[in-house]
Chains A and B, each alone.
Chain A
Amino acid sequence: MAYVAVTGGKEAIEQSLKLLEIFRQSDEELSVKCIRENMGLLIDKIMSEAGFYSEEYAALALKQCEGSVEEAVFLLRAYRSTLPRNYYSNAIDTADMRLIRRISAAFKDIPGGQILGPTYDYSHRLLDFSLEDGQEQEKASDTITDEPEKAISEEISGEDIRCQRVTDLLKAEHVLADVPPDDTPPFDVTSNLITFPAPRSARLQTFARSDAGFLGGVAYSSMRGYGAVHPTVSELRCGYVEVCVPYVMDEDEEICIGEILVTEVEALVPSHTETEEEFDKMTLSGGYGLIFGRNENKAIAMSIADASLEKPGDTPSQDEEFVLTHGDCLEMSGFISHLKLPHYVTFQSKLDRVRTKEEV
C-alpha cells in the first residue's frame, strides 16, 4: 500500500488494517480458552510485562495480535488505562504462599523440603514429534482419561503446601542482615514519575514490569563481569497468594479479591564493606524478585538487578537511572517504532544546517 508523501493516510490505514486481518486468517480458529490453557508461560510473560493480571485478557490480546508479545503487552497496558483505580491491595505475605514449586540452591535440606514442581530445567530439549498434529490423539487415548483435569489433580493431590522462607533461618542466625519492617506506602511508578535516587519500592515495581529480555541482559552483564553480583539463590518459590484489599467500612478488616500465581526469588550476596571493621561484621544481604506467573528467569534476574543497585560501582547494572529508565517494553518499543513516522520537517531543518555548513 504505497502512500505518496503524507497524503491519503486514511485509506492507507484502512487497507493496512484489512491486510492484518488477512495475515491473521486461518482455517482453524484458535479459541481464547485454547491460548490461555496451552500457552501458559507466554500468558505469564505478557501479564508480568503489562503489569496487568488477567489470563483471559492476555489470551485475548495474543489472539488479536498474531502472538506478538510487545503488541499484547501494549493492548493490555492501554486497556489498563481505562480502568479506575479503586484500591491498593494490602501487603501480601508470601510466606503464606500455596506452593507449587520451591527450591533452594543454598541448602540441600530445608525445612519443608525442596519441591521441584513443574519445570523444564531437567527436561531434555528434544523436539517431541509425538505432539505433531494427528499423532497426539492416538497417544492421548491410552494415557489420559476422559477427564484429564481430574486425573492430573488426583495425581498431584494432597494438602496445600506452605512453608517458612529459607531466609528466616539465616536471619535467626544473624548471618543475614536483619532488615526492620518498613510500612512506608510504596511509590507507584504507574501514577508518578520516578525520581532518582528512587525508593526501593519504585525500583522493584519497575523491575517487575520490565521487559524480560532487558532485565536478563542487565543481570547477565552483572554476573559476567560488568558488575559484582553473582548471587546464591537462597530460595525460588512459585505458587498462589491471596490478594486482599481493605474493607471500606472498617479499615482493619480486609476482603480477599482473589488469588494470583507468582514467582518469588530471594538471592544472597555478601554485603558491601568498605572498612576492615565492617568486613569483620560482614553479613549477607539480599536481592529480591517477585513476578506475576511462572516467570523464573525474570524473577532471578530481578533479584540480581535489585542487588546490583545496592553495590556502588560504575557498571551499567549499577547505574540506577540507566536500568530503571530503559527496560519498559512499551516505552522502548514505542520510541523505537516512532522512527517509522515521517520526519520531513525536522529533516528539512537538518538539511538546511548541513547545506549552510557546506557554504561556510
Chain B
Amino acid sequence: MIDEKHYNFAFLDEGSKREIRRSILKAVAIPGYQVPFGSRELPIGRGWGTGGIQITLSIIGREDVLKVIDQGSDESVNAVNIKKLVEECTGVEITTDSEKASVIQSRHRIPEIPMRNDQILVLQVPTPEPLRIVEPREAVTKQMHAEAEYSGMWLSLYEDLTQYGEISISSEYPVMVENRYVMNPSPIPRYDNQKLKDSETLYLFGAGREKKIYAIPPHTEVVSMCFDDVPFRTENFEGKHCRLCGATGVYLDEIIDEKTGEKVYECSDTGFCSGRRERIS
C-alpha cells in the first residue's frame, strides 16, 4: 500500500484530478476532438499507458470496480503493474470480469462482451494524432483538423490501395467521428473498430506523453475510413477457433505449440475466455 501520509487518494493531488476531469468533459462534448491537457508524470513509464492511468485516477471513486487489460490479457505484466498502482493508491476492488467492472482500462483491445451504459472504457494511446502519418508537425495537423482538411489522409489511403491492392494499415486504423473529426482509435486491431460505432458505453482515450484526451460518447457515429468500392476489412480468423474455449468469431492470438510446432490459437481477451470455460464446465 502506498502510504497515505505521503500520497493522496488516487495518487494525483485533487487540483490535478479536477483539471483532468474538465478536459474529459470537453472531450465528451466534442467527440473525436483531441483536447490538450496538462499531463502529469506518474510512477509508471511515460509511453506505458500514463494517459489512460491519469484518466482512470481522475474518475475513479472508492465504490468503483476496476479491470485492467493489456493486449486483451488481465495477467500481462503491464496490466498487473497498472492494476497494482491503482489498487495501492485507491484500495478499489479489482476484477477480471468485464461485466463486473465499472471502469476498464485497456491497451490495444476492446473487450469481446459488449460494454454497458454504466461502464467506461479507458484506452491508452501512444500516438493520438491520426494525421501524423501524413504530416509530422503538430502546428499543421491542428490546422488541418480545424479546417476538416483530410485530403492528405484520403490520398495516403488511396496510394496504399494502388500500391498494395488493399489499404495496408493493420491496427490503429483511422476513423471518422460524427462526420467531423478523423480520429485515431488507438492501436486496437481493425476487428475492434466496429465496436466504437453506436456503442452503449463511453470510450475515453488518454495520451500521457502527447498530452491529449479524447472521447467517443455512447451512440456516436464512427466510421472506419474507406472507399465506397473497397470495403473495410477486419482481420481474418475464418476457420480458426480458440484452443481453450473453442470460441470462433473473436480476436485470436496466434501461438506456436511448443511440442508439436503447430500454429494454434487462443482468445486474445483472457477474461472472456476464462468466463466461457467456467460456464462450460
Residues of chain B lying within 8 A (CB to CB) of residue A346: 108, 170-172, 187, 189
Within 8 Å by CB of B142, from A10, A78, A195, A342, lies: A195
Interface hit among A185-193, A225-233, A287-295: A185-193
A13 close to B (CB within 8 Å): yes
Within 8 Å by CB of A334, from B6, B48, B191, B270, lies: B48
Given contacts A342-B76, A346-B170, A349-B170, contact A193 B37 (CB under 8 A): yes
A325 close to B (CB within 8 Å): yes
Given contacts A5-B255, A334-B47, A344-B268, contact A350 B13 (CB under 8 A): no
Within 8 Å by CB of B171, from A333, A345, A360, lies: A345
Interface size on B, residues (CB 8 A): 68
B155 close to A (CB within 8 Å): no
A247 close to B (CB within 8 Å): no
Alpha-carbon separation in the docked complex, A333 to B41 (Å): 13
Q: Do A196 and B189 touch across chains, with their CB atoms under 8 A apart?
A: no
A12 close to B (CB within 8 Å): yes
Q: Do B11 and A348 touch across chains, with their CB atoms under 8 A apart?
A: no
A25 close to B (CB within 8 Å): no
Given contacts A196-B137, A360-B166, contact A84 B189 (CB under 8 A): no
Residues of chain A lying within 8 A (CB to CB) of residue B126: 335, 338
| A51: nearest chain-B partner, CB-CB | B41
Q: Do B73 and A350 touch across chains, with their CB atoms under 8 A apart?
A: no
Residue among B50, B126, B188, B236 with max Cβ neighbours from chain A (10 Å): B50
Q: Do A84 and B15 touch across chains, with their CB atoms under 8 A apart?
A: yes
Interface size on A, residues (CB 8 A): 52
Q: Do B46 and A85 touch across chains, with their CB atoms under 8 A apart?
A: no
Alpha-carbon separation in the docked complex, A82 to B7 (Å): 7
- Shortest distance between the CB of A6 and any CB in chain B (Å): 4
Given contacts A190-B38, A331-B209, A342-B76, contact A360 B164 (CB under 8 A): yes
Interface hit among A166-174, A234-242, A351-359: A351-359
| A350: nearest chain-B partner, CB-CB | B170
A197 close to B (CB within 8 Å): yes
B254 close to A (CB within 8 Å): yes
| A7: nearest chain-B partner, CB-CB | B75
Residues of chain B lying within 8 A (CB to CB) of residue A158: none
Within 8 Å by CB of B42, from A5, A13, A78, A192, lies: A78
Within 8 Å by CB of A13, from B81, B109, B209, B254, lies: B81
Interface string of B86-109 (1 = CB under 8 A from A): 000000000000000000000111
Q: Do B48 and A349 touch across chains, with their CB atoms under 8 A apart?
A: no
Residues of chain A lying within 8 A (CB to CB) of residue B235: 348-349, 352
Given contacts A6-B76, A349-B235, A351-B254, contact A81 B41 (CB under 8 A): yes
Residues of chain B lying within 8 A (CB to CB) of residue A7: 73, 75, 270
Q: Do B72 and A345 touch across chains, with their CB atoms under 8 A apart?
A: yes
Interface string of A175-203 (1 = CB under 8 A from B): 00000000000001011110111000000
Alpha-carbon separation in the docked complex, A84 to B13 (Å): 6
A134 close to B (CB within 8 Å): no
Q: Do A80 and B41 touch across chains, with their CB atoms under 8 A apart?
A: yes
Q: Do A9 and B189 touch across chains, with their CB atoms under 8 A apart?
A: no
| B210: nearest chain-A partner, CB-CB | A193
Residues of chain A lying within 8 A (CB to CB) of residue B109: 345
A22 close to B (CB within 8 Å): no
A254 close to B (CB within 8 Å): no
- Shortest distance between the CB of A136 and any CB in chain B (Å): 37
Residues of chain B lying within 8 A (CB to CB) of residue A360: 164-166
Alpha-carbon separation in the docked complex, A9 to B73 (Å): 10
Residues of chain B lying within 8 A (CB to CB) of residue A336: 47
Q: Do B75 and A9 touch across chains, with their CB atoms under 8 A apart?
A: yes
Alpha-carbon separation in the docked complex, A205 to B254 (Å): 47
| A16: nearest chain-B partner, CB-CB | B77
| A319: nearest chain-B partner, CB-CB | B137
Q: Do B13 and A82 touch across chains, with their CB atoms under 8 A apart?
A: yes
A330 close to B (CB within 8 Å): yes
Within 8 Å by CB of B38, from A75, A191, A331, A356, lies: A191
Q: Do A6 and B71 touch across chains, with their CB atoms under 8 A apart?
A: yes
Alpha-carbon separation in the docked complex, A192 to B211 (Å): 8
Q: Do B75 and A348 touch across chains, with their CB atoms under 8 A apart?
A: no
Within 8 Å by CB of B45, from A8, A80, A82, A337, lies: A337
Alpha-carbon separation in the docked complex, A334 to B270 (Å): 27
A83 close to B (CB within 8 Å): yes
Q: Do B14 and A84 touch across chains, with their CB atoms under 8 A apart?
A: yes
Within 8 Å by CB of A12, from B77, B165, B253, B270, lies: B77
Q: Do A352 and B170 touch across chains, with their CB atoms under 8 A apart?
A: yes
- Shortest distance between the CB of A50 and any CB in chain B (Å): 9
A108 close to B (CB within 8 Å): no
The 10 lowest CB-CB distance pairs between A and B, nearest first, are A334-B46, A193-B36, A191-B38, A335-B47, A77-B41, A334-B47, A338-B47, A196-B139, A9-B80, A6-B76
Extra 13 A-B pairs, beta carbons < 8 Å, given A81-B40, A344-B253 = A6-B270, A7-B73, A77-B41, A81-B42, A82-B7, A191-B19, A195-B139, A321-B137, A337-B45, A342-B70, A346-B189, A348-B253, A357-B166
Pairs across A and B, CB under 8 Å, 9 listed: A6-B75, A7-B73, A9-B81, A10-B80, A78-B43, A345-B251, A353-B168, A360-B165, A360-B166
